[in-house]
């Protein structure tokens, strides 16, 4: 599954856009893997009508462009994260489909984030702090944080009767987390 941050970035910029073509490099720069993007990246040709003509950002007509179609890519994202595509498939028109996909993708992301927060809370609240070492605690919090896509960002040892982490411990955690 693709990074949540990349999906959110795409959705904030292009969610609901069923018409635009985006350069492949721009999609990859958002955080999507090249392997995920490449099947949707190909040369798009301008058509014979104004509606099917490709224009650059300055409004100049282009014969062709290598890139990714927003609508097609939104379907790929929806399928990747398990969002419901049926409401979009029932719509006529690329814009209506893209808008419906944006709604379903955002619903799915919210659902996933809620589950990750719950998992993180369950993990951290069920730790018996008297039976594990600081190193084990580091690892558990790092794993929980990774599962929650960065939702856990405070690391303290008050449960163990110690102060907050020192610089060396924070560097260790950052190394695990990256």
- The answer to whether 35 and 2 have CB atoms below 8 angstroms apart is no
- Select from 72, 88, 112 the last residue of a domain: 112
Helix, strand, or coil (residue 45) = strand
- Select from 65, 86, 112 the last residue of a domain: 112
> Residue 95 is part of which domain span?
4-112
> Among residues 127, 124, 126, 171, which one has the least CA distance to residue 151?
124
Sole residue written with tokens 């721009």: 26
Does residue 85 belong to any structural domain of this protein?
A: yes
Does residue 172 belong to any structural domain of this protein?
A: yes
Q: How many domains does the chain have?
A: 2
Question: Are residue 13 and residue 66 in the same domain, yes or no?
Answer: yes
Question: Are residue 107 and residue 141 in the same domain, yes or no?
Answer: no
Does residue 118 belong to any structural domain of this protein?
A: no
What sections of 62-161 are H helices per DSSP?
A: 70-81, 86-89, 94-125, 134-147
Inter-CA distances, 177 with 39, 94, 143, 148, Å: 30, 40, 8, 12
pLDDT in tens, the chain (178 residues): 668 888 988 888 888 888 889 999 999 999 999 999 999 999 999 999 888 888 888 888 999 999 999 999 999 999 999 999 999 999 998 889 999 999 999 888 888 776 555 444 444 445 555 566 667 766 666 666 655 555 444 444 333 334 455 566 555 555 544 4
């Amino acid at each position: 599954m693709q990074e949540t941050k990349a999906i959110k970035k795409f959705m904030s910029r292009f969610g609901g856009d069923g018409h635009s073509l985006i350069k492949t490099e721009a999609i990859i720069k958002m955080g999507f893997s090249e392997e995920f993007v490449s099947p949707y990246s190909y040369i798009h040709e301008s058509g014979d009508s104004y509606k099917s003509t490709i224009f650059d950002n300055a409004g100049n007509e282009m014969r062709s462009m290598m890139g990714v179609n927003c609508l097609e890519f939104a379907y790929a994202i929806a399928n990747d994260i398990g969002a419901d595509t049926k409401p979009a498939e029932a719509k006529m028109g690329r814009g209506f489909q893209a808008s419906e996909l944006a709604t379903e993708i955002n619903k799915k992301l919210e659902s996933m984030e809620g589950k990750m927060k719950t998992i993180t809370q369950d993990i951290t609240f069920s730790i018996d702090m008297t039976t594990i070492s600081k190193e084990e605690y580091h690892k558990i919090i790092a794993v929980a944080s990774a599962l929650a896509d960065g939702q856990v960002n405070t690391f303290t040892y008050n449960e163990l009767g110690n102060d907050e982490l020192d610089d060396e411990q924070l560097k260790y955690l950052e190394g695990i987390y990256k």
